[in-house]
């Protein structure tokens, strides 16, 4: 299916690492299957970190093996360093993403490295990829790009300089993340345009949070600035354990509805996406799930951007 934007589902990693409960592996696999059946074609399925630090990710290699059997799916995993990248590449992932904080305070809290050290880490991962798995893409996610609860405001010039340094280190994509939910639409539009002016098509995904209710507005601002890949999490699951108060990823269901209602093709089927939500609920019973679209339902007369009618609405007046 032809799409205008790519919705990159990060719930199985970003979402699950932020809740106390550990989803059983069988439920993770069923959830990923449901997301794939809904039309999502890039899923961050886990992170390669020590199980003692994130027990929720202890089964990541098994999850990757299963996800690789889903046709047309780009299987992505987060890695904080070369050691994690070695394990991820051995598992067969299609894409690595490394967290590089624009805030020095957050960088030290999150990965115990300075920003300069993380640029060196990205360079080393790129070299490893080049030698062992040249088709794998390397993404650097610039976290706390719009502000930090530990440091406070993050100068835009710092973000732009860091994006350039990561491009020079060989990262294929450099995305911007509103890790702490502090961004506003004007800021998002301005910063993405500044970064794109410096690194061009290497400008990657918008990873935006709904902490203060501006998630969708910020996604629209990023789209206005030329962004075409958007991270989101089903049910709004997730946040950042090393950024106090950083709750609330953008809800995948709401993001898909917004774009499709605007005439922007996502390739995602909302009926099947709601079915995947039930798989998530079964795997994390009692965990709060968010989203306005799942609660309110589709609008009367809603059609997808390509003219399709949702299955649930066929035959209705």
The two beta strands, 137-143 and 95-101, are parallel
Catalytic residue from among 85, 165, 220, 240: 240
Tokens read off for 26 = 């069988």
Q: Which of 216, 179, 175 is nearest to 192 (CA)?
A: 175
DSSP labels, 131-149: HH-TTSEEEEEEETTT-BT
268: left (phi over 0), alpha (psi -120 to 50) or beta: beta
Exposed, middle or buried: residue 89 (CB in 10 Å: 0-12, 13-18, 19+)?
Answer: buried
Active site residue 148: no
The SS3 assignment for 148 reads strand
β-bridge partners, 99: 141
β-bridge partners, 207: 177, 231
CA torsion sign for 177, 24, 251, 315 is positive
Catalytic residues: 240
């Amino acid at each position: 299916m032809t799409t205008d934007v790519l919705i990159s589902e990060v719930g199985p990693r970003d979402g699950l690492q932020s809740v106390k409960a550990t989803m059983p592996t069988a439920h993770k696999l069923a959830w990923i299957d449901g997301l794939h059946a809904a039309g999502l074609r890039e899923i961050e399925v886990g992170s390669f970190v020590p199980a003692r630090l994130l027990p929720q990710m202890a089964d990541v290699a098994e999850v990757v093996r299963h996800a690789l059997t889903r046709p047309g799916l780009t299987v992505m995993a987060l890695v904080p360093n070369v050691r994690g990248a070695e394990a991820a590449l051995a598992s067969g992932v299609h894409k690595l993403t490394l967290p590089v904080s624009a805030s020095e305070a957050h960088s030290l809290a999150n990965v115990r490295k300075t920003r300069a050290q993380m640029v060196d880490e990205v360079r080393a991962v790129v070299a490893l990829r080049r030698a062992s798995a040249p088709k794998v893409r390397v993404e650097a996610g610039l976290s706390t790009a719009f502000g930090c609860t530990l440091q406070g405001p993050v100068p835009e010039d710092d973000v732009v300089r860091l994006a350039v340094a990561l491009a020079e280190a060989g990262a294929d994509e450099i995305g911007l993340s509103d890790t702490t939910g502090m961004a506003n639409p004007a800021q998002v539009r301005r910063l993405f345009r500044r970064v794109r002016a410096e690194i061009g098509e290497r400008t990657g995904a918008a990873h935006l949070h709904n902490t203060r209710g501006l998630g969708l507005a910020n996604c629209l601002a990023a789209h206005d600035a030329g962004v075409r890949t958007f991270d989101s999490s089903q049910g709004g699951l997730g946040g950042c354990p090393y950024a106090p108060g950083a709750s609330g990823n953008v809800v995948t269901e709401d993001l898909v509805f917004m774009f499709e209602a605007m005439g922007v093709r996502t390739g995602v089927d909302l009926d099947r996406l709601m079915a995947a939500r039930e798989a998530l609920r079964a795997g994390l019973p009692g965990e709060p799930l968010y989203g306005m679209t799942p609660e309110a339902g589709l609008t009367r007369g809603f059609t997808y951007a390509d003219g399709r009618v949702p299955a649930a609405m066929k035959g209705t007046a």
